[in-house]
Structure 1
Amino acid sequence: MKVLVTGGYGFIGSHVAERFYKEGYDVFIIDNLSTGNRSNVDFKHKGYILSAEDDKCEEVFRSNRFDAVVHLAAQVDVAESMRNPQTDSESNIIGLVNMLTLAQKYKARKFIFASSAAVYGANDRTPLGETEPGDPLSPYGISKLAGESYCFKWRELYGLDTLVFRFSNVYGPRQGVKGEGGVVSVFMDKLLAGEKLYINGDGKQTRDFIFVQDVADAIYRASYSSLSGVYNLSANTEHSILELIAMLESIHARPVEVEHREEREGDIRHSSLNNAKVCRDLDWAPLYTLREGLAKTYVWFQANKGGQEEGRNSVRLSKRLSALRPPLKKALPFIENGLAFAAMAWVTFMDWNELYSFMDLNIIYIFVMGILYGSRQSVVAAGLSILLMVAEQLEEGRELISLFYTTEFFFRMAAYLFIGLVIGYAIDRKNNILREQRRKNDELAERYRFLNEVYADVRSVKDDLQRRIMTSEESIGKIYSITKSLESLEPEQILSATVNVVSSTMDAGQVSIYSANKEGTYLRLIAGTEGSDSMPKSIKVADSAFLSQVMRDGRIFRNKTLQEDAPLMAAPIRSGGATVAVIAIDGMPFHKFTMYQENLFRVVAELVTSSFTRAMSYISAMEEKRYVEGTALLRPEAFNAIIEAKRASWNQHGIPYLLMRGTGQGPAAEFADKAAKLLRETDYIGLNEQGRVLLLLSNTSQRDAGQVVERFHKNGLAISLAEEEAAYA
């Protein structure tokens, strides 16, 4: 299964992506790295450096077809949203609409949107429930509230399954030091640096802190749930800043210096979200207390302190260099122009007239500056050339005023200006054309690079699937043989083959199949792998909670609480609207006990059900040809097919059976009518090729033969063990 996490390189996103990866999902990430960091994700995934609003995101959706989309990418700085609301809305609204549109267009099963407690504004009726009105105080809160409306409408208009989580104050490893939500990380950073902690106000203001791994757990659970609408995601607790510092001081095991500052204007005094709704509907609860979460966060900050400091120094240096580049880039043409003019002046005043008497070096200077830098520098060069010409004339003893009466002076001055303007205009026009072409080429190159990256990714997946097909246990031949094994029209053969199908597909150590009686009150073990003999042979449905659930609901049971008296998973086999058998698996490696395995188990169970239903329909249609007319006796060909299925089950899985022969006198039909009343629904009675009556007792060993003979004898029927089949009993 595939999941897309936007903002997946960020603080919360990296934990969410990691949780899905651990559950067996293929993880894809879209992030523009404005606040995220690639180093936050160290497991196998596919990442695209894009903004959520970028048109190229469609290529990612088109190539991958995601099962779930978790939209965490956002501009999260409240102060920045106040300074620049337009940028905030571009990221938080346009980006969301783009993701919703693509998720709906490419059939994503679930869309989860990360909203915020900021939508409630300054509401002190804590803990706040989802029904409280939204009254945000900042453009950030406004954009989140608007985003929720978009999610509602996409569900209403287009049928996209959307879910909104309003986060309280999330904290944990990998958190940055920006924004109010980062108060824990800010304190951690200063704590480990030995710096003073600053508190705005008296420190009695409270917040609802939730550990990031609890958030990731809730999002993962919700991705395969039927939840929709809005849910608060919080710890449903209130801790003051003073309490937070006291816990940090205890964990740090050293005194902490604290200084109080003036309370920030507009700061919310108390904030807490009621999580009762999500706890009830999602069967979820936060696992970490604030102290436990802070301890884990402290360990991470302590281990990464050096790297963070090095990263900050690198960022500072990069910012300084970035700040210097634009002024240097602007000043460089003027510096080079000045150097060229200085060289011209030096040549002029060195009186090397014989060297350049045949040409005007000023024109060459203007021409070169125009070609290199365009009209701005060519006009400057023309002006400097005119000044140089004036200085040269003054040095020769001419009066400044007299120059304005000289035709040659005006002609040269006009020529310099004309050449500077013409050359500058021509070069500017050429540069503008080239610049536009470069821009288009860069766009095409970037698009090609991106498409090539997507193609390479798809190709890699294709090659990986091909390698699996050729080398893994789940090869085409294996899948083909499994499919062929379920093509039988004999129910007994299908149930026996099901053991092999489930065992090989699910990597389960123990597989058991129970058949239900007509009333659905009892189940009897009819097939299983080695070790199934330790399972009870007969179970009363009413005595087993998990079986009652499977029989009643007709849905897969997943042992989430690891009950000792229940298997890891159980699935029904249904026919005619009723559960006729149950498949139970156990002994599966714990790391494979995932949602992926549950879905795989469901597919296998549906495949078995389809085959079993087809077989039952065939038997019903062929009943006249399977039974001797007017009796309960199976004809030899039908009876032999059942014996072969039982024999295969014995050879492969050690499931015993008994083949008995009727030895009494009297008509076979009369014997069959009496014997049928003593048999279980999983037993059979039929004729062999010689016309003798045989009884096949399922899941019965040879040591039980004496009891069976005695029971039949008490009812006036004589039977004995069929000697030719004794080796298989």
Structure 2
Amino acid sequence: MKILLTGDLSPMVWGMVDGLKRDSHHVTVVGKLESGKPADSSAVFHNTQFSSPQAQHVMKPGHFQAVVFFYAYQCEETNKHSFAQGVMLDELSRFRHSAVQNGVERFILVTDQRVFGFSQRIGENEVPVPDTSAGVLIKAAEDIFAVGNTSGMKTLVVRVTNLYLPGTDDAFFGRALQDNISGKPLVIEGTEDSPCDFLHVDDFAQFISLYLDTDVRGVVHLSYGDMCTYSKVVNALKTHLPSLKVLYTGKQVRGASLVTSQAVRQMNWVPRHNWAQELSLIISRGEGFASRRKRFKGLKESVKTLEREKEERDREAAFMENMYREASEDRSQLQQQVMRSRNSYGRIYSITRELETMQPEQVFLSTLNVVENTMQNNSVAIYSRIGDTSFARLVVHSRGYEGKLTKSPDLADFPLMKERIDRGETFVNTTLEPGYPALSAPIMQDDRPIAMIALWDVPSDQQTLYHQNLFGIVAGLVQSAIVSTLRYFELSRELFVDKTHILNDKAFRSALGVYRRMKQQGISSFLLLRVKKNPCDAPLIEMDRLLGRVIRATDLVGQAENGDYLVLLPQASNHDLPLIVSRFQQAGLSCEVAAEEEDHA
């Protein structure tokens, strides 16, 4: 027959497994056992809490003929397996229901004599009246087990006295041996005259085998039946353990022991193991177990020591590997620095050599390429600042950032960055302030910031002091180029018509060509307007004054060879056109969008 043992298990369950296997039963054990399964056991073992989903899945239709559920089976309150747990009540009900659903033929609930009160005779037909918390919970478990539809499943409550198995330390005799070895007193619930009884788990297994061939139902009591007191047991123990210390709590926990009748009468069950006659075997096996456990603990400590040494070696190896990796990264970084610096500095130098014939727009475009290549970053934006206002104007940006950046940011909204930019220092967003670029550096002229370079996104592997220093160096070299170009632009009157701020046709065409290239590359945008004829009869100086009132400092005005006035507005689009037209009309000017490709001659 296939039998499932589950519930609150202890290592003694393996003694029961041996007894059931001897009678040709197939046993499966489901429960959490720290000691695990013995090497010589052939039982199927699931080392998991019986309340876990895995345990519930073990119960399959038609798989088990009998289930033995251990709820309480140690009458010694000081034993770690003696505490009846309230949480087990729900699990017992669930397991019983699962057994019914899966066609289990027999379900046995194991409890103990603590369900009875102190003054009761403890007969099989006597109704338990518990007077302890453990007894109340055991009574609740028996009541839950007794109610509900069983659909033909035979149920039986088996109340036991103290179960024991030689060689284990989770019962009375094992506890006595362990306390004697450690020098602690053996704590006994009760007095010297308190009655006690001890039942070998092999005798319990024999009863289960006999029961499976009967129709017995209801309640059965199991005990060895040799009424004795704790003083008799202690005196017997001291013949083997003369140094044993005993401490009685003085609390009367029971006045009698279980009375066994039905098991003897209907099944001819007779226990074969007498603890008093086998005490020397119990002690010797217990000492052997203690010796093995001590040896096991020693081996366990040795394993832990080896594990600690291995962890230490692993940490050292990881440290050395990390040092090697960092050194390799530093070497690669230095190699890249040398290669990039040589190329970038040479490129910047070549740009500065060409500035005498270039307009500022071309310098901004070249600066964008230099910063992108040098920093290996494609989130570059270059802004211009005119006058003492806190506003900046986006001039050019990396490809893919069209529409993502504010065209006229107010640096007052970025106080941490503005403070450093105004001082001519590089800003590093080390605190990860939202909305701030990762890095930004000013372009200074006469101790005043006239432009700013920003890196909006910097990968984590480039957030290093080296990259910050490299960015500062690049900004410094670019600064000298931009300042020189702007000064050249301001001083070179050959670019302007007469003494105005209106570019001549050649200079305007050159600037427009640069903006066309930037727009084609997706790194900038602009709007080109033609001022209509009717106000153009005004003198050149007057047109310079009127246009100066409506354009921004970054906008460009040019006069074509045919006399038309053209206005180039960087970072503007058709979306901004209504506002721009309104501004022109307020100054008495009218304008229209000019085609970028037409010949403005």
TM-score for both structures, normalised by structure 1: 0.41
Greater fraction helix: 1
State the structure with bigger RCO (CA 8 A, min sep 6), 1 or 2: 2
